[in-house]
Copies of this chain bind each other. A is one copy, B any other.
Amino acid sequence: MNHKQSVTTPADATPVVSPKFPLPYTTVDVVIFTVLKDKLQVLLVQRPSGAEEPFPGRWALPGGFVHVERDADLLACARRKLLEKTGVVSPYLEQLGSWGSAARDPRGWSATHAYFALIVGTDLALTQGANAADVAWVPVDPAIARRDLAFDHSDILQAAAERLRSKVEYTSLPAFLLREPFTLPQLQHQYEVVLGRSVDKSGFRTRMLAADFLDEAGLVEGQSNRPAMTYRLRKRDQAVVFPRTFRPRG
């Protein structure tokens, strides 16, 4: 949560209808993953340093209050947060879960709706610089281990990483980390980075092609050795589920 209210919110705005009881705060946070430098990384933002701010100066997930007049629904709100921080328009975006309690925000009872997104690493290397010094790509595992994010964002990040790694075992999720078109060796590399282990080439190819979610997009004009076939996703909006998980013979 980036609990800094957008400037477009009128300061004298009142609740939707006058409630007769206290309302929790409602926020949306987005765990944005990418692969940069052969590592799984997450986008973090630094919280403002004002004295009345919660967790001043600490790193946090991008996010913030739901804006009742601007956000038609939770997904739109998540998309807005993601666009504001990264410039990316239509990434892979899925709901992760929600965290709500009296204790997680010092200002009072709050509930956040967490999403997780996968975006193409190289796209963002540029946008990031444009966007500010208080935004950074951070390798995921050390960030989880430090457990020093604002609010309960370390918990959320950990849950997101677990969900991602778990789903990578049996879905086509890593395809969303690559710019299209991509080759099967490139895709395999994304799997290996996220899973942290190597994957058999033959089985990998059989599996990907059998799942029938890729369209051929011509041979790559080789920068190296034998040219490879390139592929595009047949559907950009959802991942494919494989019938079995990757499972090295143990």
Contact = CB atoms under 8 A, between A and B. Distances in A.
Contact of A108 (B17, B72, B244, B245): B17
A100 interface: yes
Interface of A: 5, 9-17, 19-26, 65-69, 71-74, 95, 97-103, 107-109, 111, 113, 243-245, 247
Nearest to A28: B100
Pick the 9 closest A-B CB pairs, nearest first. A16-B108, A73-B101, A74-B100, A23-B23, A9-B21, A22-B68, A68-B109, A24-B26, A98-B98
A143 to B, nearest CB: 23
11 contacts: A5-B20, A9-B21, A11-B20, A15-B19, A17-B108, A23-B68, A24-B66, A68-B108, A73-B100, A74-B100, A111-B113
B17 A107 contact: yes
- Residues of A contacting B: mostly: loop
Nearest to A101: B73
A95 B5 CA distance: 28
Given A13-B22, A21-B68, A73-B103, 5 more contacts: A5-B20, A16-B25, A21-B67, A22-B68, A98-B113
Nearest to A74: B100
Contacts of A72: 101-103
B100 A113 contact: yes
A46 to B, nearest CB: 23
Nearest to A25: B23
A15 to B, nearest CB: 5
A51 to B, nearest CB: 16
A244 B19 CA distance: 49
B22 A16 contact: yes
A68 B108 CA distance: 9
A74 B99 CA distance: 7
Given A26-B111, A111-B26, A111-B74, A100 B20 contact: no
A184 to B, nearest CB: 26
Contacts of A97: 95, 97-98
Contacts of A13: 20-22
